[in-house]
A and B are shown apart, each in its own frame.
Chain A
Amino acid sequence: MAGPYNGLRVVDTTGLAGAYATRLFAGLGAEVIRLEPPDGSPLRYLAPFAESIAPPENSLWWSYLAMGTRSVVIEPDNNDALAQILSSADVIFEDRLPEDSLISPDLVPDTTVRTSIVPFGLTGPKRSWKSSNLVAWAASGVLYATGFRDRAPVAPAGHVQLALHASAASALVGTLLALRARRKSGEGQQVEISIQEAALAIAPETGVPVFLDDRVHRERSGNRRDLGRPFGLYPCSDGFVSIIVLLPRHWTAMASWVAEATGNETITEEVFEDLGVRMETQDLIDTWVEELTVGQSRQELFQEGQRRGIPVTPVNTVNALLDDPHLKAAKFWSETQLPDGSSVAVPGAPFRTNADWWTMTAAPLLGQHTEFYLE
């Protein structure tokens, strides 16, 4: 069968805050129409760009996030065209407050689900504040607690835009729930995502209930974490590996590995089986573990650590991922075509099903579907 949302019409007017949602929606079968202004969606102006292609078709953000969607250009004052498109929309995604929206409520049928993804929500003293991925992490407590102690705080995986993708994914969940409610009631409704709250929701570690409980002021602790030892990133011959040892069996395996590889018998002494003792002697433990890691590569440490049942993973860079043997064997990577006809690798379906749900097509050219929808 085609995706479960085959036959559903979705109109997307958002930029980055909603794009990941409508990409998924399209993959699951929905007909997603991206309404673009004559000079194109803001997504079309985001680097990195494909060098061989001219704007506004060269943004890789657009080429990735707009996959599976259709592009309709509407002139700013063409209300008839807007009304025509909206009259058949099951869902509208927006990233503006109602007073700034281009879509007046009388154009939206009662049966339409209207999903708004806005920086600080539709209510509250900061409702008109602006945001960005960085600002969202700042307002969630995560930014303050990430990075090295003597350096300015840093956002987690900054340019990946995780806070915005979390907002988009949350918006899709809300939209699917609202469609389910519509089946029972026959009515559409407003779905609301505050980008600040989407970030807060995925970071209870730095949130108020946890703080009330332990009253520990969260500080940055660099790339090691004071929950255990070894715990965090350790240097190796071609970068870093991540080692997370909390469970007793993980420690036992770790200690024998270090002993076998470096001749350090002291590390296997019983006293270090106590997590408290390892925390008190953390500098020593880290030094011993580094004696093991510095001489080997990420892949060597990954394979051998995992063989021993220890949660060791490489700190991968993008190039290593495209060569990763598991992803290759699982045929995870897919391809899309850019406007100049070249093929490029992209992530495949985000999950797998025994039913045939996922379909994808290349991102549309600016206005590629205008005629189809407006003539």
Chain B
Amino acid sequence: MTNSAIELPLEGIRVFELGTAIASPFCGRLMAHYGADVLKIESKVSPDVVRILGSAWLRDRDDLAAAAPDTSPYVPEMNASKRSVGLELKTSAGRNAAMGLIAECDVFLANFGARALTELGLDYESVSAVNPKIVYVQLPGFGSDPDMPYYSYVAWGPNQAPLVGFDDFTGHASDPPAGIATVAPPDYMSALHAAVATLSGLEHRELTGDGVHVDVSQFETTLALLGPFVMDYDLSGTVHSRIGNRSLWGAPQGVYPCAGHERWIAISATDDESWDVLAALMELPDDHFNDPDQRLSQQEQLDSQIGTWTVDFDADDLAHRLQSVGVAAHVVSTNEDLLHDTHTMSRNWYQVAPHARLGRDVFSDCAVKLKGTPGRWTDAGPSLGQHTREVLRDVAGMSDEEISQLVTDKCAFEQLEPETLVPRPWDDWIHLLVPGTADARDL
């Protein structure tokens, strides 16, 4: 799986991560994939939301309660290849142990609220006092300056998207805003910016020898994606709002019905070249829409004509036909479609790695691919508290007795019931999903 002779870009970098849900964990996972030793600091008192979610098939299994925090599919989606360290930071012994780890880390990464970090004594000033060379990257909802109006506001779950205007931009023009609560682009965009900030911080440290403090206010970071619309409002007073699936740049672009229940195709044919081949395929009786301005000004009519044409086709067949003549199109994939997507499968988009509790598990690959130094997945977990002892011993230099005392005092915790092993119900057919893993049971 891994060519150990290749040195990965982040080998030798150690990350102290205080993450919950997406924004900081997704960044940490990327770094772990590329060789960083990412220490995910976890709490049982206020656990990461992915530990609470658990797994649908485990819901009524009280006998497996110890395994539950390890079983949400979001655990590896956000945390694969990290080490899990159980430390209660609100206890002074737990915090001291954390400081011992921080002294040995290159990067501090956190998406706890700015006020929460300060209350824990883990703001930049406190952390850099222990480790002046630390690259400190925090992702609070509204920045870390306590004098700013929204400093103490709750940035919880998907409420960043409405705030930055994404929800108003989502939906058909004649409908109320549909919102984008299904997914959370602001969290992921913040995570990607945090990765850029972290790598820049490491570069800064190489050049200057100094650490650095980066404040990724998720509110501001997400707004950086709205440039042209802000400018247009400032220049002309135009308030852009939702336009369904249409494009400002040409027509047609849309989602059209196909044969069957809830089968749809997405088509973008906004340039003349695409339109010409689409029109030829549709065998349009006249050249009424050959003029791009006509297509833009009469989108209602154009879309309805296309929808009447697409409705008799199988969505996937039609996407293949359109792509074969150079028109951007794709079936509007459902979960079931993605499960059978031969393209993503041929690219091994789903990966499998060993897991201390489940034996092995499947999760999404990293979209950032490097040919010369490909990343690696060492662990599909981690299991909650799995690495507490080894990390406190090997990184912070604590003795086994000291660690046991921390655990006894409930300042730290280790993996619950390591002997409780439970494969996922679908473990037997993982090889159908991930090509080449038929014999992967002994990973």
Chain A contacts for B338, CB-based, 8 A: 141, 200, 206-208, 211
Q: Indicate if the CB atoms of A159 and B247 lie closer than 8 Å.
A: yes
Q: Cβ of A211 and Cβ of B335 under 8 Å apart?
A: yes
Q: Please name the residue on chain B nearest to A52 by beta carbon.
A: B235
Chain A residues with CB below 8 A from B328, complex form: 119, 129-132, 135
List of 4 A-B pairs having minimum Cβ-Cβ separation, nearest first: A189-B372, A64-B227, A138-B266, A132-B268
Known contacts A146-B170, A200-B364, A325-B149; is A153 also within 8 Å of B182 by CB?
no
In chain A between 189 and 208, which residues have their CB closer than 8 angstroms to a CB of chain B?
189-194, 196-198, 200-208
Contacts of A217 in B (CB 8 A): 334-336
Chain A residues positioned under 8 Å from B77 (CB to CB): 204, 207, 209-210
Q: Report how far A180 CA is from B242 CA in the complex, Å.
A: 41
1/0 contact trace for A324-359 toward B, CB 8 Å?
011101101100000000101111111111110100
A213 sits at the interface (CB 8 A):
yes
Could you say which of A88-96, A161-169, A257-265, A364-372 contacts chain B?
A161-169
With A134-B253, A152-B245, A316-B165 given, is the CB distance from A139 to B199 under 8 Å?
no
Known: A148-B178, A151-B175. A159 touches B248 (CB 8 A): yes
Q: What are the residues of chain B within 8 A of A128 when measuring CB–CB? A: 323
B359 contacts the other chain (CB 8 A): no
A245 to chain B, nearest CB (A): 9
List B contacts of A210 (CB < 8 A): 73-74, 77
Does A174 interact with chain B (Cβ within 8 Å)? yes
CB distance from B215 to the nearest CB of A (A): 4
B333 touches A123 (CB 8 A): no
Check if A181 sits within 8 Å of B236, measured CB to CB: no
Are A152 and B257 in touch, CB under 8 angstroms? yes
Contact of B347 with A by CB under 8 A: yes
How long is the Cα–Cα vector from A156 to B213 in the complex, in angstroms? 32
Closest to A155 in B: B245
Q: Are B148 and A330 in contact (CB under 8 A)?
A: yes
Query: Which residues from A are CB-within-8-Å of B255?
Result: 134, 138, 143, 152-154
Q: Are A178's CB and B335's CB within 8 A?
A: no
Contact between B335 and A141, CB atoms less than 8 A apart: yes
Cα(A119)–Cα(B182), bound, Å: 23
Known: A125-B342, A201-B188. A134 touches B268 (CB 8 A): yes
Across the interface, name the chain A residue whose C-beta is closest to B223: A347
Q: How far is the CA of A127 from the CA of B225 in the complex (A)?
A: 27
Alpha-carbon distance A333/B437, docked complex (angstroms): 51
Task: Identify 23 residue pairs between A and B in the complex whose beta-carbon atoms are under 8 Å apart, listed by A's number.
Answer: A4-B203, A5-B203, A61-B227, A64-B231, A120-B343, A126-B343, A146-B182, A147-B172, A156-B185, A158-B243, A165-B225, A176-B196, A178-B370, A189-B373, A196-B344, A200-B364, A204-B74, A213-B57, A213-B73, A214-B56, A235-B176, A250-B156, A321-B223
Which chain A residues (74-115) contact chain B, with CB distance < 8 Å?
none
B residues near A221, Cβ cutoff 8 Å: 182
Docked pose: A120 CA to B329 CA in angstroms: 12
Which of A216, A315, A357 has the most chain B CB within a 10 Å cutoff? A315
Q: Contacts A151-B175, A181-B9 known; A206 to B182 CB distance under 8 Å? A: yes
Q: In which size bucket is the chain B interface? A: 35 or more
- Since A137-B266, A318-B165 are in contact, a sample of 4 more A-B pairs with Cβ atoms closer than 8 Å, ordered by chain A residue number, is A138-B255, A208-B335, A211-B339, A350-B224
Of A218, A239, A352, chain B has the most CB atoms within 10 Å of the CB of: A352
Chain B residues contacting A240 (CB-CB under 8 Å) are 162, 167-168, 176-177
* A20 closest partner in B (C-beta): B225
How far, in whole Å, are A231 and B372 apart by their CA atoms in the complex?
Answer: 45
Pair B157/A166 contact, Cβ less than 8 Å = no
Instruction: Kindly state the interface size class of chain A when it binds its partner.
Output: 35 or more
- A232 contacts across to B, CB distance below 8 A: 179, 181
- Tell me, in angstroms, the Cα distance from A167 to B236 when the chains sit together: 30
Known: A154-B244, A210-B74. A144 touches B364 (CB 8 A): no
In the complex, B391 has a CB within 8 A of chain A: no
List residues of chain B with CB within 8 A of the CB of A319.
Answer: 233, 239
B433 vs chain A, min Cβ distance (A): 7
Contact of A185 with B7 in the complex, beta carbons under 8 Å: yes
Complex interface: chain A residues within 8 A of B207 (CB): 1, 4
B266 (CB) vs chain A CBs: closest residue: A138
Are the CB atoms of A242 and B253 closer together than 8 Å? no
Most buried by B among A177, A218, A315, A321: A177
Decide yes or no whether B10 CB sits under 8 A from chain A. Answer: yes
A314 contacts chain B at the CB level, 8 A cutoff = yes
B229 to chain A, nearest CB (A): 5
Segment at the interface with B among A33-41, A42-50, A268-276, A287-295: A42-50
Complex: A355 Cα to B164 Cα, angstroms: 27
Residue contact B172 to A151, C-beta cutoff 8 Å: yes
Chain B residue at minimum C-beta to C-beta distance from A328: B149
Contacts of A65 in B (CB 8 A): 227
The reply to whether A169 and B223 contact each other, CB–CB distance below 8 Å, is no
Which residues of chain A are near B153, meaning CB under 8 Å?
306
Cross-chain contact A242 with B162 (CB below 8 angstroms): yes
CB-based nearest A residue for B78: A204
A212-B243 contact in complex given A125-B343, A143-B332, A316-B164, C-beta closer than 8 Å? no
In the complex where A178-B373, A351-B217 touch, is A141 in contact with B333 (Cβ < 8 A)? yes
Find the B residue at minimum CB distance from A319: B239
Closest to A214 in B: B56
Cross-chain contact A154 with B178 (CB below 8 angstroms): yes
B405 at the interface (CB under 8 A from A): no
Q: Roughly how many angstroms separate A50 CA and B179 CA in the complex, as a whole number?
A: 29
Name B225's contact: one of A141, A160, A184, A218 (CB within 8 Å). Answer: A160
Smallest CB separation, B146 vs chain A (Å): 12
Shortest CB-to-CB span from B293 to chain A, Å, is 13
Encode contact with A along B241-263: 1 for CB under 8 Å, 0 otherwise: 11111111100011111000000
> Does A246 sit at the interface, judged by CB under 8 A?
yes
Is A254 positioned at the interface, with any CB of B under 8 Å from its CB? no
Q: Decide yes or no whether A313 CB sits under 8 A from chain B.
A: yes
Please report the C-alpha to C-alpha distance between residue A30 and residue B41 in the assembled complex, in whole angstroms.
34
Check B202 for interface membership: any CB of A closer than 8 A: yes
CB of B368 within 8 A of CB of A321, answer no
Q: A284: CB under 8 A from chain B?
A: no
Shortest Cβ gap from A224 to chain B (Å): 8
In the bound complex, how far is the Cα of B182 from the Cα of A207, in angstroms?
12
Which single member of B167, B216, B226 contacts A315 (CB below 8 Å)? Answer: B167
The contact of A347 among B226, B330, B362, by CB within 8 Å, is B226
Contact of A1 among B10, B74, B208, B365 (CB under 8 A): B208
Q: Which A residues lie within 8 Å of B342 (CB)? A: 125
| A342-B241 Cα distance, complex, nearest whole Å | 25
Residue pair A351, B368 in contact (C-beta under 8 Å): no
B234 at interface by CB-CB < 8 Å = yes
Across-interface contacts of B229 in A (CB, < 8 A): 48, 159-160, 318
